């Protein structure tokens, strides 16, 4: 089914010179087609107001720009065309030279949209909810200024599961399973799965292993009272919140999703093979 767009928001990483150059090209392309364009520079310290009734979002940057866009667009049901101008670009599948072709194919109904789950993380202190966060990639509870072991207790659906002594704990969505969690030895999930990865970072006890759990589970991380360092919660590598002993961080699947326009140049498995440089067979 063909689609019509009237209003587009562009999120641009203004620290990248290439993104600024491409912004002018994209704006001219859209405005020549009588499309209203709003531009929002990426600023991780701010949560901008997204204009209402947007038909499409375009991110110009890398994976971090897409993560920023996913959080501020959460609940808007706006498809995102993520253009990769970064170094790696695992979840931004469309290259700088492909964006116009990808946009036209999307409008012609020839490109699908990947529906990605997000998470909610609510910080509770003394029984009171202090702040909540949404994320597309992952949440990490770790030491603040120094690389020291921290102590956490984990409950899944109100059942005590384990006490972790580790450098930290990663809660990753399927989208985020190829990010920090993968580097910490976690499994790779297909990005459209309905699950989370709970992955300890360098655990003191080697029997503590990553766990894949259903997305409908509610799980809770409790910061133990005795700690040797400050502890922080980091959401998508961009939002940081200082935690205190006895704080609880409650995680659940968000009722919001991120909608990412898929490329027809490569699928998820091809991205895995090329980005991770997997060999096809041993050369012996």
In sign, the C-alpha dihedral spanning 257, 132, 66, 91 is negative
Given 43, 55, 63, 242, which residue is catalytic? 63
Contact between residue 203 and residue 166 where contact means Cβ atoms under 8 Å apart: yes
Q: Are 236 and 67 in contact (CB under 8 A)?
A: yes
HEC-encoded secondary structure of 208-273: CCCEEEECCCCEEEEECCCCCCCEEEEECCCEEEEECCCCEEEEEEEEEEEEEECCCCCCHHHHHH
Known catalytic membership, residue 63: yes
For residues 177 and 231, what is the distance between their CA atoms, to the nearest angstrom? 23
Total residue length of the chain: 284
Locate 55 and state its tokens.
Answer: 């038909």
Among 33, 165, 22, which Cα is nearest to 98's?
22
CA quadruple 212, 217, 223, 229: dihedral, nearest 10: 40
Tokens for 106, please give them. Answer: 């999307």
Measured CA to CA, the distance from residue 75 to residue 104 in angstroms comes to 25
- Confirm if 73 and 57 have CB atoms less than 8 A apart: yes
Catalogue the active-site residues.
63
């Amino acid at each position: 089914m063909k689609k019509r767009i009237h209003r587009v928001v562009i999120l641009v990483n203004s620290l990248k010179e290439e993104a600024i150059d491409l912004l002018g090209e994209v704006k001219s392309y859209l405005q020549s087609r009588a499309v209203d364009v709003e531009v929002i520079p990426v600023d991780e310290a701010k949560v901008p107001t997204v204009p209402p009734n947007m038909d499409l979002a375009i991110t110009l940057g890398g994976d971090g720009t897409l993560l920023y866009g996913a959080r501020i667009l959460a609940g808007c049901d706006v498809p995102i065309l993520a253009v990769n101008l970064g170094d790696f670009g695992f979840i931004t599948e469309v290259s700088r030279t492909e964006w116009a072709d990808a946009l036209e194919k999307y409008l012609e109904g020839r490109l699908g949209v990947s529906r990605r789950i997000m998470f909610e993380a609510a910080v509770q202190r003394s029984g009171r909810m202090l702040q909540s966060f949404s994320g597309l990639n992952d949440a990490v509870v770790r030491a603040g200024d120094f690389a020291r072991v921290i102590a956490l207790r984990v409950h899944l659906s109100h059942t005590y599961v384990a006490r972790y002594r580790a450098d930290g704990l990663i809660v990753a969505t399927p989208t985020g399973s190829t990010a920090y969690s993968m580097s910490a030895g976690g499994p790779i999930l297909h990005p459209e799965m309905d699950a989370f990865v709970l992955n300890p970072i360098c655990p003191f006890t080697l029997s503590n292993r990553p766990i894949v759990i259903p997305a409908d589970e509610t799980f809770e991380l409790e910061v133990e009272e005795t700690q040797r360092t400050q502890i922080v919660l980091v959401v998508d590598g961009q939002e940081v919140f200082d935690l205190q002993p006895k704080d609880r961080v409650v995680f659940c699947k968000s009722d919001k999703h991120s909608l990412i326009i898929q490329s027809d140049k490569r699928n998820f498995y091809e991205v895995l093979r090329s980005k991770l440089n997997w060999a096809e067979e041993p050369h012996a």
